[in-house]
Amino acid sequence: MRSDYSVGGVAALMRDASKSTTYKPALLKALARIAHRDDSLNLPLARLGEEFVRLYWDQTVVYHLRQAAVLSKEATAVKLIRATALEHGVHKLGDLPPSEREHLVTKMAKLLTVNVLAAFHSSKPSTMSALYTWDTTETHITLSPESHAFLRNNALSLELIANYHWAAYLEGCNRLAPRIIQKVSREAAHRSSLARYMALLMRDGEAECFYCERRDGSEHGMQVDHVIPWSFLLEDPPWDLVLACRACNAQKSDWLPDYEYIEKLKRRNRTITLAPGYASPLVAEPDIDRFFNAAISLEWPGFWTPAP
Ligand SMILES: [Zn+2]
């Protein structure tokens, strides 16, 4: 049988796919990633399940992106992850106990057999061969040497196609979330150091916690905090940065603060002076409200206040 694979063929498959979930871009991404690293033509379903867990975890638990217009309609993969994170009080996938992670992977692998693997090729152009075969009695899918080579040689392009369709779908359900493309594409969140903002944020050489207002004669014990969480904005704009004591910073984590702190932030920004080299523009006050309301509308954990 002649195998006819092309990036254009996969792009057409994605374009014509029914888009009630993000399983197809997720599976394409998983296939490209695994083939890129692994020589085997038999891909265990557990391996795919593991990749699904990795792909959906940050989007769901860290970035709080919805994968459906209403939470109750979310795909089973997302519900499984949300429930696991909640049950174990875990924010980072790396903090999930190994046995629980394995459990989650097993459930995800089972889910693939329900309608994901069999449905993937339904919108495939008739001229293109299937990327894999799968027998419902088997616990692995099978690539041909040609499809494996195609996935490996075009892994980057295929991931870009998957990211595009995944992000386009998420834009529809997360209308006000910033940087959706980055949240879909990035492997892991990379935060840069905020140490350089410490001096900028100290008032007259004194450090005061933005939340509990505890004063400290030095920067010791103070940390730079994002009022609107970094994992929502994915950037470090000076208008969002304040000093927080270690206790407040640790407790707040990536919660949104109570709205009174948004008001306070706006007042603070009216007086902040940005030294040369900190050229990021301050945003207009309605924009800060817009970010706050957007996060609330995505059911971001919110209304945090410091312990008395
Ligand atoms: Zn504090």
For residue 299, how far is its CA from the centre of ligand 1 (angstroms)? 25
Query: For residue 265, how far is its CA from the centre of ligand 1 (angstroms)?
Result: 15
- CA 93 to ligand 1 center in whole angstroms: 28
pLDDT of residue 189: 59
Q: Helix H segments across 59-97?
A: 76-88
Chain position carrying tokens 């924010």 = 91
CA of 292 to the centre of ligand 1 (A): 21
CA 254 to centroid of ligand 1, rounded, Å: 15
Distance in Å, CA 246 to ligand 1 centroid: 7
Give me ligand 1 centre to Cα 307, in Å: 9
pLDDT at 143: 97
- Centroid of ligand 1 to alpha carbon of 211 (angstroms): 5
Cα(296) to centroid(ligand 1), Å = 23
245 CA → ligand 1 middle, Å: 4
Q: What is the pLDDT along the chain (308 residues), one digit of tens a residue?
A: 556 999 999 999 999 998 888 999 999 999 999 999 999 999 999 999 999 999 999 999 999 999 887 778 889 999 999 999 999 999 999 999 999 999 999 999 999 999 899 999 999 999 999 999 999 999 999 999 999 999 999 999 999 999 999 999 999 999 889 999 999 997 655 778 888 888 778 866 678 999 999 887 666 688 999 999 999 999 888 889 999 999 999 999 999 999 999 999 999 888 776 655 554 556 788 899 999 999 998 889 999 999 88
* Buried residues in 288-304 as b, exposed as e (16+ CB within 10 A): beebbebbeebebeeeb
Distance of CA 39 from the midpoint of ligand 1 (Å)? 52
Using DSSP bridges, classify how beta strands 222-226 and 215-216 pair: parallel, antiparallel or unpaired.
unpaired
Burial 144-160 (b: 16+ CB within 10 A, else e): beebbebbbebbeebbb
Q: Are strands 207-208 and 215-216 parallel, antiparallel or unpaired?
A: antiparallel
Whole-number Å distance, alpha carbon 244 to ligand 1 midpoint, is: 5
204 alpha carbon – ligand 1 mean position (Å): 18
CA distance 157 to 195: 37
For ligand 1, the distance from its centroid to the CA atom of residue 286, given in whole angstroms, is 26
pLDDT of residue 187: 60
Q: What is the pLDDT of residue 65?
A: 92
Q: What's the 82 CA to ligand 1 centre distance in angstroms?
A: 30
**Predicted local distance difference test score (pLDDT) of residue 2:** 58
- CA 295 to ligand 1 centroid distance, Å: 23
Residue 79: per-residue pLDDT: 94
pLDDT of 144: 96
Give pLDDT, residue 277: 55
